[in-house]
Each structure stands twice: as C-alpha cells, then as structure tokens.
Structure 1
C-alpha cells in the first residue's frame, strides 16, 4: 500500500472533484470500467494482429514467437487508439449498469442527487484523457508504428519476390516546383537512375519548364539532394556534366518516401508542418488537414461516448427495459463510429467541408447524449 500511495496521491491531485466523495466514487467506477473495456478491445486487436503478422511476415522471415510479440507491440497501439472511443462507451455502460444493479443509483436518486452531478465528472475526465491521448499517446503510437513499417520495408527490400515500382516525388516552393522520378531505390535509400524536372511558376500558377537533371544516384540529405554522375540540361544551353551536384530540397529525409501514403503515420505535433510542406509542394493536403481536425476533436468524441453510455444506462431496474436500452446505446455507438468513418471518407474526397467532416460526428454524439439526459432527467 505504501508503494501505491504516491500514485494514488497523483490521481487524487488530477481529480478536480477530489473533495466530493460521490463524484469521485462514480468517477473511479467509470475509469475502472473504461480500463476493463480497453483491455478487452486491446486483447481482440492483439489476437487479430498476431495472426496477421504470423501469416504475412512469418512467411518472409524466420520469426519466433517473441519477435512476433515485439512487432505486435509496435503495430497494435495505433489501431487501439482508433477504437478507444468504444472503451469509453462500454466502460461507462458497465459502470452505471453495475451501480444500477447494486441499487446505488437508486439511493443517489432517492437522496435528490441530479444525474448531471455524477455524469459531468465522468464526461470531463474523458475529455481530459482525450487531450492526453492526442498530445502524448498519439506521438508514441506513431513512433512505434514507424518502427514496424521500417522493419516491414526492410523485409520487402530483401525479398526478391517483391515487385519493384517506380518512385515519384515532388518538392517545391511558391515560385518553383521540382518533379522527381527514379527507377528504383536500393537498400540504403538511394534513388537509382533519377530524373529531376524543374519548373518555375508564374503568379497565376502556370508552370514553365526550366531544366532537367539526370543522375545515376540521388541521396536525400537534410536540406539538399546529393547527385552523383549528373547531367544537367536547360533549354537553349549545352548540357553540363558533374561528378557530384547538390540541389536544395525542403523534403523531410525521414518521411519523404512514405508520407503521402498514410496520414496516420504523422503524429499530432508534426501535422501542421507536414500540411504546410505538402501544400507548398503543390499537392492536396486534405487527408492531413482532416486528420488534424479528427485529432483535435478526440476529447469531444471521448466525452460524447461517455455521456452516451451514461444516458443509456440510467433507467432504473424496477422500471424494466434496462437491457434493451443498454443494447440500444451500444448500437448507437457503432452507428456513430461508422458515421465518423463515412464523414472522414467524404472529407478526404472533399465532398463535404473538412472542418465539418472532422467535428460533426463528435459534436452530434455529445449533443445526442445531452438531449437524452435532458429528456430523461428534466422531462
């Protein structure tokens, strides 16, 4: 107990309702239920990913069980964060249903305690956890996912059965754009048989061809490309040959070859700079802007799911219909999750405004829960 005392003191300090026993008791019940729901969801994801990694990577590399578990711990956290709203929904449902079955909820209501008094602390704590998720857990999960992708890429490069595809990149500034093409990429990340086409942009955005550079090898450094055995040609001028040639670059050397594939691989703190870089290079950053809005809306989503779980489990046992109402809450939670995915797809395609795609579903979930609470509590 003495060893746990510092942790309990820290948790007590983080609890804004620490001086109120009733709110603290209900809050702890909700946190325990959420933790239980998280363990169940994580276990299912671990099982699915274990089978997938064993089938996909196990055929290309001699991996033992401990190595597969290590890869599992790198890949799964990102997926768990996507499904984390369900942990709040199921955890809050189980917590309030438990309070209902033990007649504790009846005692609270009989004492004249409003439902708002013990629902708002749980909702507020869910929002606080949402802030911690996007600022701390998301960057950690992104780093782990990057390491998994690096391991997977290393296997693909060493596997001769994997078909090599051409590489296309693009970099640029406000008045200049460069399109890069390479036949292949070796194990060190060096582009082979690379070609650089450079264009200048007029004020109306019209591109004008400026020149072309062909190089046997091209290595992306921190601020520049290092080209070997390069040939530079410009319109109306004789070609020039260089053993080594350096040209400026604003691409990130760590993420230049995969950043356009998955916005989920960019953590919360890097998203603004990545969005600026993609837009400067002439690409659409809609997926990354949507990802930023979805992360910013995470506290609202967690709070909405928590409030929904509470709203659908407040019906007293003696009135009946609690099981049906609870199942309705679970069904509505799944509908909200798939609605969020649908809005995300429509936002990426720019069918609806990106801001609306990122914030609509969390706002609707919280407003629906508040409406149901007002209806059941205040008539």
Structure 2
C-alpha cells in the first residue's frame, strides 16, 4: 500500500506540473493572439489606447484559461505519461504488480480537482473580469450601444403581477429602450395584465416608462379594460423584481455571471419571460467541467502509455491529440444544438464528457487488459 501511495503522489506531481505548464503556455499564446486582434480593431479608434487594449486583454485572461483547461489537461497528460513511459518508470511499476488503474486513479482525481477549482473558484473571478472587459470593449471598441442595441432597442418580458389577487402576470413590450448610467427608459410601452389562467384583464398603453428601484414608472398611461372606455392618462407604478443590472445581464453573455449566481438568475429569467437556455446550458457546462477534465486525463493516458519498443508512439500520441480535439468539437456542437432547443440542456452539456469517458475507459481496458 505504501508503494502505491508513493507512486501515486509522484505521478500526480508530474501530472500537475505538466498540466499547469501547458495551461500557462496555451493561455499565454491564445491571449497574445487576442491582444493582437484587439490592437487591430483599435487602430482607427483614438480613444482605444495601448493601455486600454492591454487592460481588456488582461481582464479576459482568466476566461481564456477556463476555455483552455481541457486542452491543457489533455496535452499535459500526454506529455507526463509519455515521459514516464519513455523512462520505463510505468513499465517498472507494472512489472512490480501495480495495475494501470491503480496509478491512474490519482492523476484522474487531480484532473477532476482542477475542474472543481476552475468551476468553483476561477469561474466567479473570470465572470467579474470578463464583464468588466466587455464593458470596456463596448465603450472603446464598438460603435453600438451594448447588448440591448443588438436586440433592436426592444424589450419583451414577462413578470409576476403582485398588484393582482390572486397573483397574475404582466407582459411588457417597449420600444426605444435606452440605458443612461443606472437608469433604463423606453418609449411606446404596452403592458398586458393577465390573471392566473392567462386571461387578459387590462391593457396599459404608456408613452414613456422608467425602471426605478422596485417598480416601473409609467407616464401618460391609459388603462384599457374589456367593454369599457380608456381611462384618462396618468402616472402609475408597476412593481417588479427586475433591476437595470439584471436586464443588462439577461442580454449579456452567460460567461459574465458567476456559477454561484446562475441558479437564482435563471429562476429570475424564467419569471420575467426571458429565455434562459443559454444560461442553463452554461451552468450545466460548468458543472460538467470536472468530468470533462477527468475524461481528458484518461484519454491522454490511453494514447500515450504505449512502450517505445513496440513502435508507433508518434502515431498514438497524434491520435490522442486528435481524439481530444474531436471530443472538444463534439461538445461545442452539442452546446449549439442545445441552445437551439433541439436537445435537452442537461444532455447537451453532459453527454459529450460522459461518452468520452466511456470511450477512454474502453480504450484503457483494451490496452491494459485486452
């Protein structure tokens, strides 16, 4: 037992150093190309100075590292296991009666730990820094008005109507939505108030609306009820759970939200009528990251522990890299299908990693026990 523990700690140390080295190298390489692209975009913009571009690239670095992590585990694992096989250390371990499953358990758990740290600790930091980077990018490198401009300045949402007893829902449609600091305003607003059975009770037409703390302030609002004349224009308030930040976040990338904030925000989106598919998919992908990292570790082991004397080592390592990239591409395709709604969110996030894990185990069974 002592020999297995000692060997496992030694392999884990070699594996962790290789993965961290690959993570730093790949993140630096990708960030360099990202920085060059930002410089190209800022060439004709006088306000986008070299310092601003450098700050945006630096703020995006943790997000880049999160995306690179599965590749770092794959390449770092291949490098680690190839070195141990080339130096005959793994061959000696097998000859002493230690199976591959015993000395692979520790690096697999280490890879899962990398995924857990990335999800639980790095993701919150990455989301805050990425949100800041996107804010600076919108201010200095884009001519549009931010995420709401991509929606044509229109806003559709569904929220609970606390003014009704029993509580119903209110569907709000507004044009000309603009953000002024921490204030949201819109023109030509229509509010449809429905009871619990989705029966239309009243319709409110307002010339102007402002989102304040805890309520929508409707100005020049006319209330129209079935079979009745419209009421005279007046100013009225409609309670809401939304804030300006939450409206902005609903249009922004899910990557700008912490994994700890996503569940409550997804529930808020569902109550408010926004689509939460992107956020639910991102949340499930973050939860599946430890499993994906463990899968990459086993894939790297299965394709790099072939003894050099048997030949074909370069082909095996190349096949391992290709298999890892194929798994990554499949996971991204599954995410796109999941975002379209054609595939359940949980299946789109977990199926690629789970299927890759089973294929990696099958490969190791064939290589070691076949």
Both structures adopt the same fold (TM-score exceeding 0.5): yes
Q: How many Å apart are 1:219 and its aligned residue?
A: 3.1
- 1:132 corresponds to: 117
Structure 2 residue 80 is the aligned partner of structure 1 residue 95: yes
CA–CA separation in structure 1 for the residues paired with 2:91 and 2:143: 64
**Aligned-pair distance for 1:20?**
2.3
Corresponding residue for residue 170 of structure 1: 157
CA deviations over 1:248-292 (Å, ceiling 9, x no partner):
112243130341453323221122112212222234422222222
Aligned equivalent of 2:174, options 148, 163, 181: 181
Indicate which of 322, 327, 330 corresponds to 1:331: 322
1:233 aligns with 2:223: yes
Find the counterpart in structure 1 of residue 261 from structure 2: 270
Q: Deviations over 1:84-113 (max 9, x none)?
A: 101000000001111122222222223222
- For 1:65-104, list aligned pairs within 5 A: 65-104=50-89
Give the TM-score, by structure 1 length: 0.85
Structure 1: distance between partners of 2:314 and 2:130:
39
Q: Distance in 1 between matches of 2:33 and 2:357?
A: 31
For the structure 1 residues 31 and 163, does the alpha-carbon distance in structure 2 shift closer, same or farther, using more than 3 Å as the test? closer
| 1:39-118 to 2 correspondences below 5 Å | 39-118=24-103
Q: CA 1:264–1:68 in 2, change beyond 3 Å: closer, same or farther?
A: same
Check the 8 A contact 1:45/1:80 in 2, yes or no: no
Ranges in structure 2 where 5+ consecutive residues have no aligned partner? 161-166
Distance 1:187 1:358, change over 3 A: same
Give the C-alpha shift of residue 50 in structure 1: 0.6
Query: For residue 245 of structure 2, what is the aligned residue in structure 1?
Result: 254
CA contact (8 A) 2:48 2:140 kept: no
Distance 1:234 1:18, change over 3 A: farther
Q: Which residue of 1 aligns with 2:293?
A: 302
Query: Distance in 2 between the 1:86 and 1:73 partners?
Result: 21
Counterpart-to-counterpart distance in 1, 2:201 and 2:142? 34
Which structure 1 residue ranges, 4+ long, deviate > 6 Å from structure 2? 156-160
Q: Deviations along 1:135-176, whole A, 9 cap, x unmatched?
A: 11111111111111222333479879x996423141312721
Alignment-derived partner of residue 9 in structure 1: none
Q: Which deviations, in whole Å up to 9, do the C-alpha atoms of 1:275-316 show, x marking residues without a partner?
A: 212222234422222222211111110000011101111111
Q: 1:7 — aligned with what?
A: none
Corresponding residue for residue 342 of structure 1: 333
RMSD over aligned Cα atoms? 2.7
Question: Are the structure 2 counterparts of residues 156 and 192 from structure 1 closer, same or farther at C-alpha, using a change threshold of 3 Å?
Answer: farther
* 1:289 matched to 2:289: no
Q: 1:233 to 1:152 in 2, by over 3 A?
A: farther
Pair 1:351-2:356 in alignment = no
Secondary structure at 1:255 match in 2 = helix
Q: Is the 8 A contact 1:45 1:76 kept in 2?
A: no
